[in-house]
Amino acid sequence: MFEPGVMFWADRDNLEMALSLGVKYGQLGIPDGMQLTAEAAAKWKAALDAAGFTLVTVFAAYEGEDYTDMATVAGSVGFIPPATRALRLARTLEVSDFAAQLGVGSIACHVGFVPEDAQDPDYLAVRQMVRDVCDHAAKHGQNFALETGQEPAGVLLRFIGDVDRANLRINFDPANLILYGTDEPIGALEQLAPLVVSVHCKDGDPPAAGVPGALGLERPLGKGSVGIGRFVETLRKVGFHGPLNVEREAEDQDARIRDLADGVRLLRSLVAV
Ligand code: MG
């Protein structure tokens, strides 16, 4: 399945949108407010089965996350804010159970900016949460994939080694490394490849010089600084088997769907080479 797929969301998208792109693989994002009942799972499973669509990952996102700039990301995203840790852990385990009902073998999320100091109380708390999620996911035979971007490859590797769980893996997003100014995506992919179980094909440009704390600008696939041809070539070289999930975060939904469709076409041309 070294072929295009799509990262789509249960609230702003639907399965029809994903199918309209002509793809058969994808990753489903679950907004925090969504009721994860057995009925909702059964409905999704029936629709996926009927369409012959394979979900490779279910993503958790959390109420109150803010991706405006570095400071708001640091203060609001993932497992870092102490006030929401218990709630977000419980929600992540719920997403794992929901994914299990869909027969999906991988869950993922942004855990946020993990401190580099391994003695920092926030580091220790996040390490424990990641262990708890891994242990719960393992009971469903799932892995837990950390989204890349908020730390350089070496720091992420050290953290994963320290968590010490066999089912802790990586969802590699090359654009995030550029948007956060953390690392060069191709070298990072080569370094992290053995742990990469899924990828986002997303593009972007680095933060503007002279604007402290700003994030870079996410761009349509092929229009940013990732070098998507080289990215796909490197995925092939390291033996990644796909799918190649196009991700686009634009606010305007029509533009976003058009960009996703263009991204799928671009990836088809690249994998055909
Ligand atoms: Mg991503």
pLDDT at 273 exceeding the cut of 80: no
For residue 17, the CA-to-ligand 1 centroid distance in Å is 18
For residue 83, the CA-to-ligand 1 centroid distance in Å is 25
User: Which residue range forms the structural domain that includes residue 107?
Assistant: 4-271
For residue 123, the CA-to-ligand 1 centroid distance in Å is 22
For residue 203, the CA-to-ligand 1 centroid distance in Å is 10
At 210 the pLDDT is 84
Reported as a single tens digit per residue, the pLDDT across 202-214 is: 999 999 888 889 9
For residue 58, the CA-to-ligand 1 centroid distance in Å is 12
At 204 the pLDDT is 98
For residue 161, the CA-to-ligand 1 centroid distance in Å is 22
Reported as a single tens digit per residue, the pLDDT across 243-265 is: 999 999 989 999 999 999 999 99
Number of domain units in the chain: 1
Gap between the Cα atoms of 66 and 75, Å rounded: 8
116: domain CATH number is 3.20.20.150
Gap between the Cα atoms of 161 and 156, Å rounded: 9
For residue 147, the CA-to-ligand 1 centroid distance in Å is 7
pLDDT at 1 exceeding the cut of 90: no
For residue 162, the CA-to-ligand 1 centroid distance in Å is 23
What's phi and psi for 14, nearest 5 deg? -150, 175
Q: What is the pTM of this model?
A: 0.97
